[in-house]
Amino acid sequence: MEKIIIAGHGSPKKDANNIEQVARLLHGMVHPGCAGDCVRVAYLQFAKPDIMQAIADCVRDGAKKIIIHPYFLSSGMHVTTDIPGIIKDARGTYSDVDIIYTEPLGIHNKMAEVVLERIAASAGRKPQEIEKRSFEIISDEVDLSDIPEERQPIVKRVIHTTADFEFKGSLVFHPDAVKAGIEAIKAGKDILTDVEMVRTGINKKLLEQWGGKVVCSIQESGVGSKESGEKTRSETGIESALKQNSNIGIIAIGNAPTALLKVIELCGQSVTRNPAPLVIGVPVGFVKALESKALLASQTVPFITNLSRKGGSTVAVAIVNALLKMAEEK
């Protein structure tokens, strides 16, 4: 078993002892989806646990290999003398445990990028400029050349929204999805959402110039579950809106798998109009989320989805807004 310890200096000011956030981010990158405490924090002074205690805790929990990273910018006395001294004592106490000591943060090109972002933020850079720079960073860090050009703006905007490069591999498109979405927008079609969060995030200014509006008909009745035989609010709202509104051209589901399953069912019953609306189905969660998206990916109607448990309202919004930007540019 391997454990990682992020070792910081520590401060008398409690709010400054916050490298736990860094540990959580690192844990998500090293062991995505893991619920364990594989990445831990320790402090040289002023805060707990100290480095020796963190090592002891890892050994107690069964670690046979411990990687210690000094969360320091440079190789000062703490990095070259104090922490190595503690590690030397730990190696003497736990001789059967492999303890590895890494270099500090030091000089790295990504550090310069962080400084650049901080400078841009302090200079009051306009949101458009910050977004442009963010998209440039995404292009530098991930190769999208294997993705059809028309889909790249959508993939980029989802990555930009989530800071999660895994969406490059999990997003799935019907061959006519992008075309159907842009045509629906330009034809003044409405966009139906499953929840208010998706409706709120969509750029209505871009949509309204074509004559469309965003609709969310989530209902107060039917708050049960599919298992109990009672429809959920979002499911009821989707069904009601599709039967009453003949101008829906895009359906964006970011929260409720039951709503997506209802959309798929209604599309199969030809309740939706011809041409069929673009279905953006990216609900997040562990119950029926992936299953509903896999089912959507097998349909003949235009769709955009992602084959993973990840997703959510922000992802649905990002896809819709990417299409709106593309429609405006075209």
Annotated catalytic residues are: 160
Task: Give the type of residue at 92.
Answer: G
Which residues are within 8 A (CB) of 1 and not within 5 positions of it... i.e. 6 or more apart?
61, 62, 63, 64, 65
In 94-176, which ranges are continuous DSSP H helix? 109-122, 127-141, 152-162, 167-170
R_g (Cα) of the chain, nearest Å: 25
Largest CA distance in the chain: 75
**Do 46 and 12 form a contact (C-beta atoms < 8 A)?**
yes
Dihedral (CA of 306, 312, 316, 317) sign: negative
> Angle between the 233-244 and 257-268 helix axes, to the nearest 10 degrees?
30
Which residue, among 192, 320, 179, 210, has the nearest Cα to 263 in the 3D structure?
A: 192
Give me the sheet containing 171-173, strands edge to edge: 171-173, 303-306, 278-281, 248-253, 190-193, 214-216
Strand partners, 250: 191, 278
**Do 42 and 7 form a contact (C-beta atoms < 8 A)?**
yes
Peptide bond into 127 cis (omega under 30): no
